[in-house]
Structures are given as structure tokens and as C-alpha cells.
Amino acid sequence: MNRPIYLDNHATTQVDKRVITAMMPYFTDYFGNPSSSAHVYGWEAEAAVKQARSIIAQAINADETEIIFTSGATEANNLAIKGVAEAYFTKGKHIITVQTEHNAIIEPCQYLQSLGFEVTFLPVEKNGLLDLNLLSKTIQDDTILVSVMTANNEIGVIQDISKIGAVCRKNEIIFHTDSAQAIGKISLDVQKMNVDLMSLTAHKIHGIKGIGALYIRRKNPRVKLASQIQGGGQERGFRSGTLCTPQIVGFAEAVKIALQDLDAENQRQQKLRNYLWQKLSLLDGIYLNGDLNQRLAGNLNISIDGVDGSALLLALQSAIALSSGSACSSNSTKPSHVLKALGHPDNLAKASLRFGIGRFNTQEEIEKVAEFTLKTINNLRQFRST
């Protein structure tokens, strides 16, 4: 049976076989606990974790001691936001974030609101980008944290993180960025970007699910965090729990592979993305969501006038695996909060498609996707008009 063409690579990605190969020995031969320091099995696992930590740190120009492993970006985001709130609440209780953030940012912030913190959810411009002047005006004397995602998970827009970080540094405010969709897809440098906390994950870049990391700056400034998981004191006390060596090794391998082919792969994906947009934009009533230039190479998010969103996804799913927005809210009947933040009415926010192009997609696949999508939209419009 022919399976649908997979174009939901912002939700998750097919694991690269090279990642699996790198992981396999640490399930069977080198299975020790990296915290066990009394024998060779522990030393072998510890060495593998140290090497992986170094690879991931180098990918964002950090020191290896600043990388804390987590179960994914959601946990890293919770540790960053709640950890700062608990550690700095005597200094202030004001947090700034953006309306288009992932729910892994929005919901922890809403939780903190229930505890008495003040959270400002900044709007974005119609292209999805944050107005830096608005950010500066929103900062208060008691602002302790700003959190802005590097690349949006729905519309692929890349924020000007360096300038946002500079505003935070000038005002001596801790700056966190969710880079789950950015690691291995664009160049990241926590020093040049003025980032104090950065959330990462493996499964968006053909690594496995269930492993992520949080970068925590150690100097200039040294960031304090209250741990959210207590126990064995692993990961400098920020995140207790036995480390899963195979997952960590696989994470590092996925990062290494992605960075080796970064420029060439971005050019290839952008060519496929532009071809798809060129074909789909031939129809009237097709709207691009987010800035076309300042976005991830493999992202195309569109809204379609004159069709029912649920009917469109249902009609496409036999041939194309894709979504209308975040995988975490794919079962929701509510319109995307990201598209609503761009100013879309409910009908356009619901009738949207997120095409996520990945490493294993081909030109032939994209051509088939374009043809089938155009045909489906035309059929639904004709049906609706009869």
C-alpha cells in the first residue's frame, strides 16, 4: 500500500539511520549508568555523554558545562520559565513573551499568572515578526524574563534574536529562546545572539523523540534557576534523573549530521518550498502566512479562502501527511492562535495548511503534492458553490 507523502516535518522527522547506528552500541555493549564512577561501564557511558555534550555545545557556541539534558524542548521550556520565576521572584514578577509562542511557553506563563506573576503577551506584526520598539516599551522595572522563540513552529518565521537579546542585555533582563525548530536548520550562537537560556530538541532534525537540552549561561551573567525535578542531583542539580546515554548520543549525532550539510540542505529545501509556493499561489484566494524571506527554508504555511479547513485536511490525508498547525493541538477545533495573532479571521485561520519539508523529501514528491493540493482545493470550491 502506498503511504501518504510525509510533509509534517515540523511535527517530527524520520530518524536518520546514521543516528540509529550511533546509538545502538549504548543499548547493549556500553550500557552503564554515566553516574556510576566506580567501574569501567560507568566511565564508558560518562565519556559518551561528555562527548555528546561537547558536540551540542559547539553547535551553539557554548561551553559543554552549560548544556543540561532534558526529555525534550517542552521540559526545557518549563525549566527555563518556571526556574527563572522561582529563582528571581524577589527581584520582580513580570515576564514578557509573544502571542505566537508554542503552548510549551504560553501555558507555563499562564500557570505563573495563577501564582501572581504578571505576564505580557506581545502581539506580532502581520508578517509574524516582533516589533522591537514595542518590546522596549513593555519592559518594566520588575521584568525578570523575556522569552521569544527563534523560529516559529507553525509559520516558520525567524525572529531577530540578536537584536531582541541586545535589548534584554541592555536592561539586565534574562533572555530565553525556544530553538526547538531552529537547531540544525539555521546558525545559532548564544554569544552573538545575547541568549541566556536556549531550549533544544532532537526529533525536529531527524533525531529521536524524548531527548532535548537547555543551555544555561554560566557567566556574564550567571543565570540562576530553581530545579523542577529533584532527586539524584544530576545535571548540576538542575535536572535530576539517570541520563539515557543512547538518546544523548543520538541527539549529538543528529546535530552533527545537520550541521555538516546545513547550507546545501537549506538551499535544496528552499528550492522545493519556493516551487510549491509558486504552484499553489497560481490559485486565487491563497495567502502566505508569515514573512517569505525571514523563515525556515522548509516551511510553507498558507491559508485558503473558500474551503472548509476540516474538509480540506480530510480530502488531502489520503495522499499527503501534513497538518494545519502545531502537532500538539492538531485535534483542536479552535483556529490557530498563531494565525489569529497575524490578524486572520476564523475561517482563514482554520483553513490553513502547514507544509514541512525535510531531508528525505524529493522534487518528485513536491510536484505530486502541488498537483494534488491544487486539484483538491478546486474540487472543494466547486462542491461548495453548487
For residues 188-202, average pLDDT: 98
Q: Does an H or E element contain 178, and which?
A: strand 174-178
- Which sequence positions are flagged as catalytic? 328
Superfamily of domain 5-13+262-385 in the CATH hierarchy: Aspartate Aminotransferase, domain 1 (3.90.1150.10)
Calpha distance 70→200 (Å, rounded): 9
Judge residue 11's burial from the number of C-beta atoms within 10 Å of its C-beta, 0-12 exposed, 13-18 middle, 19 or more buried.
buried
Domain with CATH 3.90.1150.10 in the chain: 5-13+262-385
Where residue 328 falls among pLDDT bands split at 50, 70, 90? low
Task: Please report the pLDDT score of residue 386 as a whole number.
Answer: 64
For residue 278, the number of C-alpha atoms closer than 13 Å in the C-beta half-sphere is 8
In the block, cell 558545562 appears at 65
Report helix, strand or coil for 175. Answer: strand
The DSSP letter of residue 65 is: G
Residue 335's pLDDT is 86
Please state which of the ranges 37-51, 125-139, 205-219, 315-329 shows the lowest mean pLDDT. 315-329
Report residue 244's pLDDT band, with 50, 70 and 90 as the boundaries: very high
Q: Taking each helix axis as running N to C, give the angle between helix 262-280 and helix 245-260, from 0 to 180 degrees, rounded to the nearest 10.
A: 70
- Give yes or no for residue 327 having a pLDDT over 70: no
Alpha-helix residue ranges (DSSP H) falling in 101-212: 103-114, 132-138, 161-170
Which band of pLDDT confidence, cut at 50, 70 and 90, is reported for residue 298? very high
Q: What is the pLDDT of residue 312?
A: 94
Residue extent(s) of CATH 3.40.640.10 domains in the chain: 17-259
| Residue 375 binned pLDDT confidence (cut-offs 50, 70, 90) | very high
Q: Residue 209 belongs to what H/E stretch?
A: none
User: How far is 346 from 340, CA to CA, in rounded Å?
Assistant: 7
Long-range Cβ contact pairs of 378-385 (< 8 A, separation 24 or more): 378/283, 379/315, 380/306, 380/307, 380/308, 380/311, 380/312, 380/315, 381/306, 381/307, 384/306, 384/307, 384/308
Q: What is the mean pLDDT of residues 273-279?
A: 98
Whether 204 has a pLDDT exceeding 90, the answer reads yes
At 223 the pLDDT is: 98
Contact at 8 Å (CB) between 214 and 197?
Answer: yes
Read off the pLDDT of residues 52-74 as tens digits, 9 standing for 90 and up.
999 999 999 999 999 999 999 99
Q: To the nearest whole number, what is the mean pLDDT of the chain?
A: 95
pLDDT for position 16: 98
Q: Which residues pair with 8 in a beta bridge?
A: 356
Whether the pLDDT of residue 102 is over 80: the answer is yes
Percentages helix, strand, coil for the chain (3-state, rounded to 5) are 40, 15, 45
Contact 101, 149 (CB under 8 A): yes
- Which CATH class, in words, describes the domain spanning 17-259? alpha beta
Confidence check: pLDDT of 178 > 80: yes
Rounded average pLDDT over 10-20: 98
Please state, in angstroms and as integers, the Cα–Cα distance from residue 288 to each residue in 35, 127, 188, 233, 295, following that order. Answer: 50, 9, 26, 47, 12
Is the pLDDT at 356 greater than 90, yes or no? Answer: yes
pLDDT at 206 over 80: yes
| Secondary structure (H, E, C), 1-56 | CCCCEECECCCCCCCCHHHHHHHCHHHHCCCCCCCCCCCHHHHHHHHHHHHHHHHH
Quick check: 325 pLDDT over 80? no
pLDDT at 384: 77
The pLDDT assigned to 331 comes to 53
Please tell me the predicted confidence (pLDDT) of residue 334.
80
Q: Is the pLDDT of residue 329 over 60?
A: no
Residue 173 in this model has a pLDDT that exceeds 90: yes
